Chain A
């Protein structure tokens, strides 16, 4: 059992699987374990970055936390109350204070609905029956994300990419959630627009006391926005801890490779940065022990024996590698 009672959201040993049923004409589907024993904690007001490459399971964690995808095992506590193991409808109801900002709000907004209508509908579904109250809350929220009330009558196609993101944020925040899951909130935006949107996200968090689960593959954005970060590889967390510490001293060989590969503004020699060999393997057919070992420069026979546990490597900083003592200090990033 966890000792921290202060956590707002506590996820323990979460497993989410897809497939396993029968496909058309009876061929059995393979089981894909998209999330494989993940534990995370969100403290009130915290921003936790969930980082990894495509297919690592970060979006599945977000959807499982929301209750959109049913967990196979593991427990989830919200404010100390167990909200896992429920039927899908009840799970979503119990987790209503967790909300999700879609990756592409342009696709998430109905093109036939004005912005005001979309926000109004969100409030109506969540049981705010008083029309006057809905209008006030919508105006307040549009103002909070930096849009003037004239946007109520506009349609999604009239908005720029940055404005669509703001509407996406407003539509969720108008419901007054406590935990907001941001799924790649700035992917596809230009640098100057990204800066504005990140600024809005940061300010709202402080002003409204929100807690963020920030899902992203952009390391420079996560470094900037989150105090804590969890690095994922193939459904598992391989390293977690304070962002500053992990970016300064990455321990797990995958984290080291990921940080070294991330483009930075310092002109550097490509020749000095070793590239990881190969591609991530298919999650239907995983190797024993550490799943990173086929691509790891430090792999040894003992890596195949058992799944490496997350070991403490510093204050609040943990990494899942059994050879940390042997592979030496990381080169400064």
Chain B
């Protein structure tokens, strides 16, 4: 390597994940690669079934029972999360090094317990694990203030139904921040919210990332949210990463035919309203090579020979497509 690249805080290399089903092995993720740079917000965008959520679950070590990583590595600093024992993941990674914001604020909180009971039970204060209940309570209240929850002092005595959707999402963000993690994984945290509330939450996340020096992986299906919030983005299709790069470049001049065709479906851009012909392949019997090739108008014989290598026609903007093979070295 010629240039010294800044070290990523989270590096996923050639990750393949399979889930056993009654009909056979389904390869949900296929050679996925991704780097999360310090202090950046990285979007993961793709349609349903593309493997975004499985990727997040792999990082947290909470794959479904019959799921396992068959190949590759997930490096958190020097440690490969895939080879860590379960108790180490629970003790040092989940909620500690990596915080998680779930998708649905209406389901993530138990309606029959007070918010305080739920937050204090799960919250681990940074460093001191034997903190008193009062210290924990003060810590949680300070977090609720940080996420700009109105009337933070009394919030802990209330029940989830007494909060609006946006406020509940703030509670969950506070819970994710509790142990002062350096990395936040967010799985479509604003999908259930209205746009004006979504904007509040996105601004809050942006502000927290800067204030607390967080790096964030933000899963979404909405390119508009990627444009609003993220610095860089990875586009996924059927378990493969097809393109990644700075948001402005990917949105303006995408390299991969899938990204191009998907963006052309957006009501803002579509010349005529027509979807992408064909359907997403089943992970039980995926096409060989590039999984988009059966639907791709540019497909040729070599597309099915194997997954195209990752090349970067522009610095930082990489694509896996045979159309760009000669444009630049990796």
Contacts and interface: CB of A to CB of B under 8 A. Distances in A.
A40 B48 CA distance: 37
A221 interface: yes
A58 to B, nearest CB: 12
Interface string B147-160: 00010000000000
Interface in B239-276: 247-248, 251, 261-263, 265-270, 272-276
Contact of B200 (A197, A202, A275): A275
Contacts of A225: 267
A191 B195 contact: no
Contacts of B272: 199
A263 B222 contact: yes
A153 interface: no
Given A53-B195, A267-B248, A279 B275 contact: no
Contacts of A273: 199, 203
14 contacts: A190-B48, A192-B47, A195-B270, A198-B267, A221-B267, A258-B196, A260-B199, A261-B195, A261-B198, A265-B266, A275-B196, A278-B150, A279-B167, A279-B197
B315 interface: no
A192 B261 contact: yes
Contacts, number: 120
Interface string B20-31: 000000000000
Interface string A214-230: 00011111011100000
B68 interface: no
Given A199-B273, A265-B263, A217 B194 contact: yes
A160 B198 CA distance: 28
Contact of B195 (A219, A267, A268): A219
Contact of A191 (B167, B200, B221): B221
Nearest to A200: B273
Nearest to A224: B267
B228 interface: yes
B6 interface: no
A196 B262 contact: no
Contact of A261 (B48, B166, B199, B263): B199
**Looking at B196, B199, B202, B276, which has the most chain A CB atoms within 10 Å of its CB?**
B196
B329 interface: no
Interface string B186-197: 000000001111
Given A194-B267, A266-B251, 20 more contacts: A53-B195, A192-B262, A192-B276, A198-B267, A198-B273, A199-B274, A217-B195, A218-B267, A261-B195, A261-B198, A263-B224, A263-B227, A264-B227, A264-B268, A265-B266, A273-B199, A273-B203, A275-B196, A276-B196, A276-B199
Nearest to B191: A188
A316 to B, nearest CB: 23
A198 B269 CA distance: 14
